[in-house]
Chains A and B, each alone.
Chain A
Amino acid sequence: MENKIKLNPSMFEKATLEDRNAEKIKRPSIKYWPDVWRRLKQNKLAMVGLTLIVIMSVMSIVGTHINEFDYKEQNYGLINQPPDSVHWFGTDELGRDLFTRVWLGTRYSLIIGVLAAAIDFVIGVVYGGLSGMASRRVDSIMMRIAEVIYSIPYLLIVILLSVVFSQQGSGTSMFVLILAMTLTDWVPMAILVRGQVLQLKESEYSLASESLGGTRGWILKKHIIPNTLGPILVNVTLTIPRAIFAEATLGFLGLGLQPPSPSLGNLSNDGLAVMPVGIFYQIFIPALFISLIMFSFNVLGDGLRDALDPRLRK
């Protein structure tokens, strides 16, 4: 090699500091959330899910106003019409426009999912936070109680509550549905929050001993929030489809939202009733919507989990 290079003494002058620094190729230091977002964007499936969720959310608000039909307007002259240019998703056995009803059902499903997740979140944070901050004895009792609640079969309780509160009408109010769903489902969130609070407590002690004032906020910002927010976010994203699925199942069993309010579960139940006569679109369309919602939230939740996992960082 040496004989290929033309060596001259000037090459052997000492390199200055600037010379050396100029050569440094520094990888840009990556911030936490932009980095999570970058990795999430690389996950095509998760992005498809996110896009679908955005589209469905928007359509669940505007979709009911796109055509001139009302969700409960019956038209006996036009029952069980297959999809055409007037009724884009067809009509049901009472001649109601399915396009409007399906988007309204989507709206209800999404509201139920999001509210259930929100309530889970609030109860979980309060209970888990209290448990984590309480004395060890109280903490252990609170956790035992949570475990018992959690081992009560979820949908059995939901069904029981629907039975109790749906006496007057033949359906359940959205309030009761959401209440029933959150009754046992907040436990994982509480356990998650408790664990993080315990961690926070420990780091607080170590900080106090070092008496470094003002850095607690820094620890909170740098460590606790990224560490806690990630799993909580994933948990919330996966609670939403669980609640939507529970509502759909209840609707299918005839215990869902009170008619004439359509939910995707009710709509599928209605669709199942006419399937034996050879009408498929009435079950197919709401079924497709339920599946799409479930799909979107699940792949998004997965994607988030992967994006947040520091072990997968590159």
Chain B
Amino acid sequence: MEKILEVKDLAVSFKTFFGEVEAVRGISFDVHRKETIAIVGESGCGKSVTANSIMQLLPMPPAFFKGGQILFNGEDIVQKSEKEMQHIRGNQIAMVFQDPMTSLNPTMKIGKQIVEGLMKHQKLSQSDARNKAIEMLNLVAVPQPEKRIDQYPHEFSGGMRQRVMIALAMVSNPQLLIADEPTTALDVTVQAQILELMKNIQDKMDMSIILITHDLGIVADMSDKVIVMYAGQIMEQGQTDEIFKSPSHPYTKKLLASVPRLDMNRSESLHSIEGTPPDLYIPPKGCPFYDRCEDAMKICKDYMPDIDNHTNTHYSRCWLNHPMAKSKAEGSEA
């Protein structure tokens, strides 16, 4: 499969009143055609910043690129001008946002919002655009699309609005869809419908999806690959089953333990991860999870672990994988 997106050593910072915040600290990953990858992590871990960097939608200033490349079809997006980006946005890369209640313009009719971008990219006539909008609403299963396109967002429920958002993102048949917590603001039953819808459309349209979420529960069904982010860095990355079956980083394990499962005993309580992620005004020298890690070792405080490849597709960054840690553990058990 061909790679459509390559992120290499991406680093993004924000200049604030109090100093520089290193929101994303050197991350790398690839997205192949028709592939779905999930970026998982707590709020503030840099996953949304990553998504917005790919779209070049970060407010600059205060945000700025500190280093790295984002290659889309081999071309570096970071180097592109605003005009060139406008051609890519909504055309080749589209985005669905978290809160459908606030991400549609309250004073513009739904139909117009859906085709607005397409009309610019493909120079459609009014009637063609209208037909396209109806077709899209049909695709995302909004009932009575002919009537609905002339309505305003406040006349739609949250789930329906998210369908509209998806229609809006899909309308120009993008190669890559970035979905930033697309179901977080929705009811659980609606969540499942929206995810199902996204999968269906993906099959029809041959596109890749970057799914950003803090909910590992939805990752299992949706994604091929999982990236676990913490404090602006990738802690673990692998195929979905690798991550679920053999998680290697303590943070990933904790995340998995905090997902409710049906096969769980009633007496078992859900695990929460105590503490908060570190302040990225002063990023820690060592492993950022050190404060909250129950298996932390002395070395973790001052040194960031290297990448350990477990398989071709699976790696994590943790000192526990180091041979010396393993021998120590065996020693103490013996």
Contact = CB atoms under 8 A, between A and B. Distances in A.
Interface of A: 1-2, 5, 7, 9-15, 19-20, 23-25, 27, 314
Given A25-B278, A25-B279, A13 B284 contact: no
Interface of B: 16-18, 275, 278-279, 282, 284, 290-291, 293, 295-301, 303-304, 306, 319, 322, 324-325, 327-328
Given A1-B304, A314-B17, A11 B291 contact: no
A1 B306 contact: yes
The 8 closest A-B pairs by CB, nearest first: A11-B299, A15-B296, A12-B325, A12-B328, A12-B324, A12-B297, A11-B298, A15-B298
B282 A9 contact: no
A24 B322 CA distance: 25
User: Which secondary structure dominates chain A's binding surface?
Assistant: loop
B306 A23 contact: no
A5 B297 contact: no
B279 A9 contact: no
29 contacts: A1-B303, A1-B306, A5-B303, A7-B299, A7-B322, A7-B324, A9-B324, A9-B327, A10-B298, A11-B324, A12-B299, A12-B319, A13-B297, A13-B328, A14-B296, A14-B297, A14-B298, A15-B290, A15-B297, A15-B298, A15-B301, A19-B298, A20-B290, A23-B284, A23-B301, A24-B275, A25-B278, A25-B279, A314-B16
B282 A25 contact: yes
Contacts of B304: 1
Contact of A14 (B275, B291, B295, B322): B295
A20 B301 CA distance: 8
Given A9-B324, A12-B297, A12-B324, 18 more contacts: A11-B299, A14-B296, A15-B296, A15-B297, A15-B298, A15-B300, A15-B301, A19-B298, A19-B301, A20-B290, A20-B296, A23-B290, A23-B291, A24-B275, A24-B291, A25-B278, A25-B279, A314-B17
Contacts of A13: 297-298, 328
A40 to B, nearest CB: 15
A288 B293 CA distance: 64
B297 A11 contact: yes
A145 B327 CA distance: 82
Nearest to B17: A314
A5 B303 CA distance: 8
Given A20-B290, A25-B278, A9 B301 contact: no
A5 B305 CA distance: 11
A314 B328 CA distance: 44
B321 to A, nearest CB: 11
Q: Quick one: which of A10, A19, A20 has the most chain B CB within 10 A?
A: A20
Contacts of A23: 284, 290-291, 301
A12 B300 CA distance: 8
Contact of A12 (B17, B282, B322): B322
Contact of B306 (A2, A9, A27): A2
Nearest to A10: B298
Contacts of A24: 275, 291
